[in-house]
Amino acid sequence: MLERLEVHGLGIIDEVSFEPPAGLVALTGETGAGKSLLVESLKLLAGGRAQASMIRTGNAALRVEASFTAPGDGALDAMLTELGIPACESVVIRREVHASGRSRAWINDVAVTAGTLQRIAPHLLAIHGQHEQYGLADGAEQRRLVDAFGVPETLRERVARLYERWREADDAAAALARARDARRDRLDVIAFQLAEIDAVAPEAGEDEALERRRQILRHAVRLRELGETLLQRLAEGETPVIGELGRAEREAAEMAGYGAGLADVAGRLKEARILVEESVREVQDVAGSIDEDPAELEAVETRLHRLEQLMLKYGSPIEAVVEHRERLISERADLDSVEDRLSEANRQRAEALAAYDAAARELDTARMNAGKRLLEGAATILDRLNMGGSRLELRWFERDDPDSPLEREGRRVRFDAGGVAECELLIAPNPGEELRPMATIASGGELSRLHLALRTALRTSGPSPGLTLLFDEVDAGLGGAAAAALGDVLATLAERDQVLVVTHLPQVAARAASQLRVEKILTNGRAVTRVTPLDGEARVGELARMLAGEAVGASAIEHARALLADR
């Protein structure tokens, strides 16, 4: 429920603040006083389009702020929590529009986007004006109304899930069909690549080992020279290192025997001699294995070249080539079994489509039943609005789609996550007339009444009361008894929700639990809008003005008193 509304710098509104009470609240006043601007302010809070042209002349920005009683709706609480906004008793929405055209918005002082306001607003506020009335002519909107009226959400969610399951199964089957179609060409590619790799038969680490061997073979002469020099220096020369280390070891040991404390030195010299001896043996082994062998070098070069050609095509190092070969073998096995897997995928796709169709048919039935109840409720309201002779019918149909896999009664039909059957609301406003689509109704008054009847039937069946419903221009084309009936319908709706109605009809205004006068006055030579709660004689005077215009006489005042007494 709307607790408070503040508007600053919007059109002729300099600064307006009011607190509408619960129940039916009538907003009245002369044309051009600013009632439509109050409607625009709430549309801004609902995420409506913001334009710099809305800003009052001379102001740098406009600001709109409203406080709503939180409905305790679990969906709203979850949405607020997702946005990092703690759930609380009041939801405060603020929006600013600057002269640059930039718009900013906040919910409980947390910055949000206009898109977020559009998600949040339906849990707090519903605005019904001429634009929304004509929007009801859209078949998709009519189906949404039926769903909201009486189609279980669990059933709609199940249809949507089964549709996604079919989509996944269809995508999988299509991918396998493409693989099957490309199977022959791909198998040829795989066979060629495997033959090319297997002809070389690479082994992991082979390229590195061959590179080391090539280095040895390329430098065999120099390696032998270095080996002979090293052996001379370590063990075979006139004063070899091993011999010198042995003498040093014995001399240090002798000194240690005389108490010189060089036992550790002697030990380290011994270790050094042993290490040199081991090194000599390794050098001898290597030097003995080095031969200048042009034939082997050529073989190694040839082998490395073949490995390098493979690595250029399939990845480096050689391990990447080996892994590529393993993937090719696995892919070949998959392609060999593609027919079997495609057959299974087609079976799963058919099962998914059948499951979807069964659920969609159940949804169709639920929608038809709910639509019938919705129109029965709307017809009752229309009867109260002096349209008792009207006939309403929802025509359900399926759209043909030659490319669709779903068949019904021999026709291929379009389907999606929302179901199969679509609808069109037909109406005959007067007895004897034929049913016509709602979109072709010429009378604005009839359209307004039908709109109100549908919305009223919808709200009285809803599970969560407490919305703020704003009706603008809903009284267009009405008068007399129909106007009084409109007031009664709105009052009934206000037993469940807070209802704000912008009206020029005294019969409607008199039926309201409270009335706010919107008026334009001059302050310092400029027009400004003021909103004043009316009570007592002030309300009688406003109703009399609505009845008689500016020339209010005694009869108009008495008529106004009578209207208030009869509510």
Q: Over range 338-360, report the average pLDDT.
A: 93
Q: Which residue has the higher pLDDT, 115 or 482?
A: 115
Confidence of residue 385 (pLDDT cuts 50, 70, 90): confident
Distance CA 269, CA 248 (A): 7
In a domain, 279, yes or no: yes
Per the listing, tokens 């909107």 go with 141
Distance CA 149, CA 156 (A): 13
Q: Are residues 14 and 120 in the same domain?
A: yes
Q: Over range 559-563, report the average pLDDT.
A: 89
Say whether 100 sits in a helix, a strand or coil: coil
Mean pLDDT is lowest, of 457-461, 523-527, 533-537, for: 457-461
Confidence of residue 511 (pLDDT cuts 50, 70, 90): very high
pLDDT at residue 376 above 80? Answer: yes
In a domain, 58, yes or no: yes
In a domain, 551, yes or no: no
Q: Over range 488-503, report the average pLDDT.
A: 89
What is the predicted pLDDT for the residue at 131? 57
The sign of the torsion formed by the CA atoms of 54, 59, 61, 62 equals negative
Mean residue pLDDT across the chain = 86
Q: Over range 423-451, report the average pLDDT.
A: 79
Q: Over range 112-123, report the average pLDDT.
A: 89
Which of 263, 290, 316 is a domain's end point?
316
DSSP string, 165-212: HHHHHHHHHHHHHHHHHTHHHHHHHHHHHHHHHHHH---TTHHHHHHH
In a domain, 287, yes or no: yes
pLDDT at residue 445 above 70? Answer: no
Q: Which residue has the higher pLDDT, 315 or 73?
A: 315
What is the predicted pLDDT for the residue at 73? 64
pLDDT at residue 20 above 70? Answer: yes
Q: Are residues 5 and 102 in the same domain?
A: yes
In sequence order, what are the beta bridge partners of 461?
none
What is the predicted pLDDT for the residue at 462? 60
CATH of the domain at 118: 3.40.50.300
In a domain, 416, yes or no: no
In a domain, 29, yes or no: yes
Q: Are residues 3 and 106 in the same domain?
A: yes
pLDDT at residue 109 above 80? Answer: yes
**Segment 165-201, tens digit of pLDDT:** 999 999 999 998 888 887 777 888 899 999 999 998 9
Q: Which residue has the higher pLDDT, 451 or 150?
A: 150
What domain range is 503 assigned to? 1-124+467-534
Distance CA 558, CA 567 (A): 15
User: What percentage of the chain has pLDDT greater than the value 90?
Assistant: 39
Q: Over range 296-314, report the average pLDDT.
A: 86
* Phi, psi values for residue 532, rounded to 5°: -125, 125
In a domain, 502, yes or no: yes
Instruction: Domain count for the chain, please give it.
Output: 2
Which of 316, 343, 365 is a domain's end point?
316
pLDDT at residue 76 above 90? Answer: no
Q: Tell me the chain's radius of gyration from C-alpha atoms.
A: 45
Say whether 106 sits in a helix, a strand or coil: strand
Q: Are residues 1 and 119 in the same domain?
A: yes
pLDDT at residue 456 above 70? Answer: yes
* Three-state secondary structure string covering 418-446: CECCEEEEEEECCCCCCCEEHHHCCCHHH
Distance CA 67, CA 496 (A): 19
Identify which of 181, 168, 159, 180 has the alpha carbon closest to the alpha carbon of residue 349: 168
Q: Over range 288-292, report the average pLDDT.
A: 70
Type of residue found at 499: V
* Cβ pair 457, 148 in contact under 8 A: no
DSSP string, 444-492: HHHHHHHHHHHHHHHHHH-S----EEEEESTTTT--HHHHHHHHHHHHH
Which of 271, 292, 316 is a domain's end point?
316
Q: Which residue has the higher pLDDT, 506 or 75?
A: 506
Q: Over range 98-105, report the average pLDDT.
A: 92
Q: Are residues 4 and 116 in the same domain?
A: yes
What is the predicted pLDDT for the residue at 442? 52
* Phi, psi values for residue 417, rounded to 5°: -65, -20
What is the predicted pLDDT for the residue at 443? 61
What is the predicted pLDDT for the residue at 80? 87
Q: Which of 54-63, 85-94, 295-304 has the highest mean pLDDT?
A: 54-63
Q: Are residues 220 and 311 in the same domain?
A: yes
Distance CA 191, CA 106 (A): 64
Q: Are residues 8 and 109 in the same domain?
A: yes
Type of residue found at 40: E
Q: Which residue has the higher pLDDT, 335 or 402?
A: 402
What is the predicted pLDDT for the residue at 16? 93
Q: Which of 91-95, 241-245, 376-380, 475-479 has the highest mean pLDDT?
A: 91-95
Confidence of residue 132 (pLDDT cuts 50, 70, 90): low
In a domain, 332, yes or no: no
What is the predicted pLDDT for the residue at 145? 86
